[in-house]
Structure 1
Amino acid sequence: MPFLELSLVVRLEQQPSVEDALEELGALSITLRDADAETPDEQAIFEPGVGELPLWSTITLNALFDAGADRRGLSEALGEFLPWLEPDQLSFAEVADQDWERAWMDQFHPMPFGRRLWIYPWNIEPPADEELVVVRLDPGLAFGSGTHPTTALCLEWLDGLELAGRAVTDFGCGSGILAIAALKLGAAHAVGVDNDPQALTASIDNAQRNDVAERLTVSLPQDFDSAPADVFVANILAGPLGELAPTFAAAARPGAPFAISGILDGQQDELLARYGEWFEQLRVDARDGWIRISGLRR
């Protein structure tokens, strides 16, 4: 019998609350695995005892649901239970009964996005090609390596813009991948916003690795007080996207290109109506069941 597998990548201290949320949503089983393991065959923990925690610093939780479970409903419910959750931490897959212990993502490798942008893991040397724009990335304790469809959609959108001299805001920055990519593509300055302090630390570290740290500012949402940006991008879940629409509108100057992602297919109509109050020329792009909405600030 096939199942719907919901995978979440979290830090050790987040595991208990995530597991409680998955159980509340009716998960049939929950498997915990070292998110940094190089092979899917390394030790997993099945239904740990009360009070027991794995020793890993970053954990993949694989939760099985009935094949007909509502992905949109699960995503929205998790967003309510876990308001800090970001789309790069969330993945759905249909799996056969015999495959339910598989790893949720392939080993991180060089990936192209758009015409010239590439994301490279830190341990692989890119070719000497002046036409390529390369971001060297160590996702570390935060999330966002380009493997998730929402990140890929945002990276490709950034690659298609003329960013030279512009100020960019990346809301829900995670590893800093979008802000750093914008800077490598020519942006003059970028602001990365995230409610996880470790994400801000990872963003700064990755910016230093890419020699753009002096042009990156990071901020918690409650401290975010930046001038309206020339370009605005937010890669968070659909619930917060709806709630924060007025904040995002105020954070983008008139005429600024904007993009939002972290939206499951089926959630876009409500957001299109919501954002239509402040943004125009709206378009929808999709990848693997995830949606990006882009347009211009009125």
Structure 2
Amino acid sequence: MSWVSLNIEVNATYVEILSDKLFEIGALSVDIHDAAAGTEQEQPLFDEPGEFTGEVWTKAAITALFEQDANIPAIMQTITRILQLATQPEYRLSRIPEQDWVKLTQAQFDPIDISPRLWIVPTWHEPPDSTAINLILDPGRAFGTGSHPTTQLCLFWLDKNIQSGETVLDYGCGSGILAIAALKLGASSVLGVDIDANAIAASRDNAALNRCDPERIIFSTTLGSSQSNTKENGQVDRIVANILANPLIMLAPILMNAVRTGGSIALSGILEEQASEVINTYRQWFEMDIADKKEGWVLLTGIKK
């Protein structure tokens, strides 16, 4: 079985109504992206959680997937009528053959070397270096497969800084990758926190996959639900939080209270142009600075005063 991919370029005015109508007339899926992607006219758009702006690209490309026998000329006539256009918009068609989608997806994820001793390895690959610390992780229900620059920045920081016997808090743990890495790198105990119950379930599954001691790595939806993986005063030696700029700003008092004096914090999920605002927020408690950069993202680190 094969499918037909229909690509139409429209201005922002028509994006919402067209995407809805495509589903109504039989589209199996609809994808919206920047028509100028990959050119100098590319228009980056960023939203923070809970702050969807509704903004779309000035010129958007809409790709709809249909069954192979779909009547495309009739579909285009319907689209022209719905959008009340004087002429039919230009479109492109392509055929998508039947494929082994599992193998195709897996082929997109190769082992990632974070450092000479730290790798991220999908379950369908053999570790390139059997003597390294190999984090076994597949793409799944929660953010954090190791492929994103912010995850790599945090992993590299953990690799360089974790000392044996330290306690670590991974706030916004997602897939649990940073918490698992901290434990494998020598932390005595780790607490992973995420407000998403699916992330907690995924983190626990990944910790089990990596044969982590369940008494030394705990995942929870609330910071205060378990103090067994922290110091006696409820504070940890190190915090790593890979979220986004606005949530990190709002979480500053909570994260400040969670780390001991002299302890360290690492923050990512922050674009370079957002760094100064986050630094200014945390500087009342930490000696903060930009520690690393990658592909437009930054890692901020600090020592608690």
Fold shared by both chains (TM-score > 0.5) = yes
In 2, distance between residues paired with 1:151 and 1:135? 13
Give 1:223 deviation, angstroms: 5.0
Q: Match for 1:149: what amino acid? A: P
Q: Is the 8 A contact 1:79 1:239 kept in 2?
A: no
1:286 alignment partner in structure 2: 293
Q: Match for 1:266: what amino acid? A: E
2:118 alignment partner in structure 1: 117
Give 1:63 deviation, angstroms: 3.5
> Secondary structure at 2:236's aligned position in 1?
coil
- 1:217 partnered with 2:218: yes
In 2, distance between residues paired with 1:46 and 1:80? 22
Give 1:205 deviation, angstroms: 0.5
Q: 1:75 aligns with which of 47, 51, 74?
A: 47
> Secondary structure at 2:201's aligned position in 1?
helix
For structure 2, the 5+ residue unaligned runs are 1-11, 54-59, 66-103, 228-233
1:248 alignment partner in structure 2: 255
Give 1:278 deviation, angstroms: 0.9
Asked which structure has the greater RCO (Cα within 8 Å, sep 6+), the reply is 1
- Relative to 1, partners in 2 of residues 1:70 and 1:137: Cα closer, same or farther, differing over 3 Å? closer
Alignment of 1:243-282 (within 5 A): 243-282=250-289
In 2, distance between residues paired with 1:98 and 1:174? 30
> Secondary structure at 1:126's aligned position in 2?
coil
Give 1:124 deviation, angstroms: 1.3
Deviations 1:57-97 (A, max 9, x none): xxx965337746454xx334x54249xxxxxxxxxxxxx98
1:64 alignment partner in structure 2: 34
- Relative to 1, partners in 2 of residues 1:52 and 1:201: Cα closer, same or farther, differing over 3 Å? farther
For structure 1, the 5+ residue unaligned runs are 1-25, 31-44, 83-95
- 1:237 partnered with 2:244: yes
Q: Match for 1:118: what amino acid? A: W
- Relative to 1, partners in 2 of residues 1:106 and 1:138: Cα closer, same or farther, differing over 3 Å? closer
Once the two structures are overlaid, the 10-residue window that deviates more, 135-144 or 245-254, is 135-144
In 2, distance between residues paired with 1:64 and 1:196? 29
Give 1:229 deviation, angstroms: 1.0
2:177 alignment partner in structure 1: 177
Q: Match for 2:47: what amino acid? A: S
TM-score by length of 2: 0.67
Give 1:50 deviation, angstroms: 5.8
Q: Match for 1:75: what amino acid? A: D
- Who wins on radius of gyration, i.e. which is larger? 2
In 2, distance between residues paired with 1:221 and 1:51? 44
> Secondary structure at 2:256's aligned position in 1?
helix
Once the two structures are overlaid, the 10-residue window that deviates more, 140-149 or 216-225, is 216-225
Q: Is the 8 A contact 2:34 2:43 kept in 1?
A: no
In 2, distance between residues paired with 1:276 and 1:282? 9
2:148 alignment partner in structure 1: 148
Q: Match for 1:117: what amino acid? A: L
- Relative to 1, partners in 2 of residues 1:134 and 1:46: Cα closer, same or farther, differing over 3 Å? farther
Give 1:179 deviation, angstroms: 0.3
In 2, distance between residues paired with 1:188 and 1:279? 24
Deviations 1:90-128 (A, max 9, x none): xxxxxx9899x9x99971111111341111001212156
- Relative to 1, partners in 2 of residues 1:105 and 1:134: Cα closer, same or farther, differing over 3 Å? closer
TM-score by length of 1: 0.69
Q: Is the 8 A contact 1:139 1:202 kept in 2?
A: no
Give 1:129 deviation, angstroms: 3.7
Q: Is the 8 A contact 1:29 1:47 kept in 2?
A: no
> Secondary structure at 1:208's aligned position in 2?
helix
In 1, distance between residues paired with 2:239 and 2:25? 42
In 2, distance between residues paired with 1:161 and 1:192? 18
Give 1:142 deviation, angstroms: 1.2
> Among the aligned pairs, what percent are the same residue?
41
- Relative to 1, partners in 2 of residues 1:240 and 1:281: Cα closer, same or farther, differing over 3 Å? closer
C-alpha RMSD of the superposition: 3.7
